[in-house]
Structure 1
Amino acid sequence: MFKAFVKIAVLLSLTASMAFGYQAIRLNVSEGTYKERNDAFNGILEVDLEDAGFTPKDIHPKIEYYYKLFYGTKLLKDGKPNPQFKTDYVGNLDNLGFITISNEEWMRELLMKEPKLGSFAPLNYLIYKKKSEDKTYVGTLTPQAMLDIAEIKDAGVRAAFTEKIDALSDATDEGMGGEVEYVEIDKLPAKTLIEWEIPFDRGEDVLDAKFDFMEKFEKAFEAEEYIIAGKRDFAEYWVDNDLENDKYDAYWVYSLCHFTFSYTVFNVWEHPELGASAPCSMYMYLDKDSSTLKVGMPSVDNWAVFGKITDPKRLQFIKDMDSKIKEIMTSLGAKEI
């Protein structure tokens, strides 16, 4: 009965959205105590997520606790002043969690046809609760938004990916109860994806060359206060599990997070729904026998559109994040395309 109710609610929401806009983020909204809602969510992670065809790779719960620890605590554990303490620290969240999810097996066929889909492999499964209300939100970007941002044209890939995300949404609704709400926008920005090419010296062993590049990449981003929140090496998984791969010498995806940026957007600006776009997935792949590493990721400009952000200072803050990423990539020899 409940599942039928949810399906009807979704249908009504879809019908309404045709009149009002583009559905960008799908959220299941349920009422209840922090503990019972969090327990329900953990039940999805432990059982239903796998049934829906996904595996969690990197689980980042209680991020709001670390915001307070990093920026809202005057003294460190050793009693020394905390250099990151913000006198204007605000804590607007009771719960914020990111779970990067994907599936190396069924994504293999899709990535063979559409490598840019690595923009959402993994994708973020989001949970949050604001202190100002007794509601918990769980969800992701809509499959249409993910596919459009990644510029996926292949109809078969779009249908297969949508089917999997719909299964995830069904598992969310069954596990959390509640009602379905959408963040709607007028349209996506003109440029949704940032892409680069990097000359790649294969050396005597392409895997050794890959690991050397990874080390340089990670050091460059960590030096600019980014966190490598996760990494999925699809090609390595395919080899280890005897899955066919006649297209790539390498294919992996980083999950990137900038802690100050996320604290500001999700907590200070009170836009935790934009966590559906975080951590940012940056895919990297090397075609067979190629000496060009291809890289791409969704533009942070998408966040401004999803959040309907118009304040000039906030828009500049977001654009600066894209600019900083481009500067780091340029320092690694990348050319934007």
Structure 2
Amino acid sequence: MKLIKGLLVALLVVTGLTAADKTFKNDVRVWQADNADKKITPKTIEEAFKNAGFVIAANNDMNFPFKRDFKTTHMDVYNLMVVFRKDTALALAEKYPDIGLFTPISMSIYTPKGAKTISVSTLRPEIMADMMNIPRDHPEMIKLGQKIEEALKAAMPKGKFIELPYASKKPAKEVITRITMEQQGDDWEDAKDDFETAFEEKLAPNGFVMAGFTDLNYDFDEHDKDWYLFYDVYSICSIPVIYEVSKLHPEAGAFAPCSAYKYQKKGEKTIHMAFPNVHKWIGSLNITDKPSIDVLLDAQAKFEKMLKELKEGK
């Protein structure tokens, strides 16, 4: 009997260690449901997320720009939705300034041509936590994951997470692109305005659009939290990139639009900016086709060049 008890204790210890260091076949999850009657739409999914306490920063029908720019689309439905929870940001932003990498969270809502299903892709909360330098078992990250699943189940009650036909792989390079700049002049508000103007003017000439903009510090100020002078998150999208990559990987909307944050802490004169880069896309989605890799690396090079020019005042 003592031997059996000892084995049980050992098993529980091993199980606990496995749970704490859990790995996944895929970084991205796809919740899919039958939708032959077409009653589930991007709008009804949006409403379910609102009811679960999420703020909707954007919910864009990408078939319009796809048809406009490429004269065709490979999807009957393809939306990129951007959402976040104010309580999550408030609970984590002071200790974890990388919160803006996935606040808001991106996801794709899609139905391939002729399919009778509808799917929603999201990045696993554990992977988001890793990239934001937050412990996977942090109660707020666990709660966030639960709320995402709650919204998906409410939106698509007969749905389930499906098996993806590939495994995520380790990225070849660092997956977060970062840059810091010193405040120009004595007035941080003027410096912020100048930076924003210069940044936004560079987007269109380099093939990017701003799909959404989230002022996280507005909510912090409303709750008398003065950690930051400002904390803004741009939802940046490249239509040629998502068009090409979504042909084989419609779940790529878990990364698009990309959240690029900029913040300046109170009492400091350093502006921080960062975003999850395309090497994470390539690794997480196991992208191997040359057209997708080419457009991704081209976009990465252009965005890095933009940031370098901003830092140099060009």
TM-score range, shorter chain: 0.7 to 0.9
Question: Contact conserved, 1:114 with 1:154, CA < 8 A, in 2?
Answer: no
Deviation at 1:42, TM superposition (A): 2.6
Question: Contact conserved, 1:235 with 1:248, CA < 8 A, in 2?
Answer: yes
Q: SS of 2:301's equivalent?
A: helix
Deviation at 1:187, TM superposition (A): 4.1
State the Cα deviation string for residues 139-169 of structure 1 (Å, max 9, x = none).
Answer: 311101212233x14466x331231222121
Distance in 2 separating the partners of 1:97 and 1:316: 23
State the Cα deviation string for residues 220-265 of structure 1 (Å, max 9, x = none).
Answer: 12221210111111113332x2x12232111110000111111111
Q: Which residue is 1:135 aligned to?
A: 117
Question: Contact conserved, 2:83 with 2:105, CA < 8 A, in 1?
Answer: yes
Question: Contact conserved, 1:118 with 1:282, CA < 8 A, in 2?
Answer: yes
Q: 1:138 to 1:34 in 2, by over 3 A?
A: farther
Q: 1:116 aligns with which of 68, 73, 98?
A: 98
Asked if 1:323 corresponds to 2:301, the answer is: yes
Asked if 1:299 corresponds to 2:277, the answer is: yes
TM-score by length of 2: 0.84
Q: 2:154 aligns with which of 174, 184, 200?
A: 174
Question: Contact conserved, 1:274 with 1:306, CA < 8 A, in 2?
Answer: no
Q: Which residue is 2:34 aligned to?
A: 31
Q: 1:199 aligns with which of 146, 165, 182?
A: 182
Mapping of residues 1-337 of structure 1, within 5 Å: 21-33=24-36, 35-38=38-41, 41-46=42-47, 48-60=48-60, 62-72=61-71, 90-150=72-132, 152-154=133-135, 158-176=138-156, 177-183=158-164, 185-189=167-171, 190-204=173-187, 206-239=188-221, 241=222, 243-266=223-246, 269-312=247-290, 314-333=292-311
Q: 1:145 to 1:296 in 2, by over 3 A?
A: same
Q: SS of 1:203's equivalent?
A: coil
Question: Contact conserved, 2:75 with 2:113, CA < 8 A, in 1?
Answer: yes
Question: Contact conserved, 2:235 with 2:260, CA < 8 A, in 1?
Answer: yes
State the Cα deviation string for residues 98-138 of structure 1 (Å, max 9, x = none).
Answer: 12111334312201111112100001132101004222101
Distance in 1 separating the partners of 2:79 and 2:211: 12
Distance in 1 separating the partners of 2:79 and 2:30: 14
Q: SS of 2:115's equivalent?
A: coil
Deviation at 1:272, TM superposition (A): 1.0
Deviation at 1:30, TM superposition (A): 1.0
Q: Which residue is 1:80 aligned to?
A: none
TM-score by length of 1: 0.79
Question: Contact conserved, 1:196 with 1:334, CA < 8 A, in 2?
Answer: no
Same amino acid, percent of matched pairs: 24
What is the letter of the counterpart of residue 43 of structure 2?
A: N
Q: 1:288 to 1:334 in 2, by over 3 A?
A: farther
What is the letter of the counterpart of residue 50 of structure 2?
A: E
Distance in 2 separating the partners of 1:315 and 1:260: 12
Distance in 2 separating the partners of 1:28 and 1:66: 25
Question: Contact conserved, 1:255 with 1:282, CA < 8 A, in 2?
Answer: yes
Deviation at 1:334, TM superposition (A): 6.4
What is the letter of the counterpart of residue 160 of structure 2?
A: E
Distance in 2 separating the partners of 1:249 and 1:294: 12
Count of aligned residue pairs for this structure pair:
291
Q: 1:154 to 1:271 in 2, by over 3 A?
A: closer
Question: Contact conserved, 1:98 with 1:275, CA < 8 A, in 2?
Answer: yes
Question: Contact conserved, 1:238 with 1:245, CA < 8 A, in 2?
Answer: yes
Distance in 2 separating the partners of 1:57 and 1:311: 31
What is the letter of the counterpart of residue 137 of structure 1?
A: S
Distance in 1 separating the partners of 2:109 and 2:170: 23
Deviation at 1:23, TM superposition (A): 2.9
Q: 1:235 to 1:225 in 2, by over 3 A?
A: same
Q: SS of 1:289's equivalent?
A: coil
What is the letter of the counterpart of residue 178 of structure 1?
A: G
Distance in 2 separating the partners of 1:29 and 1:222: 34
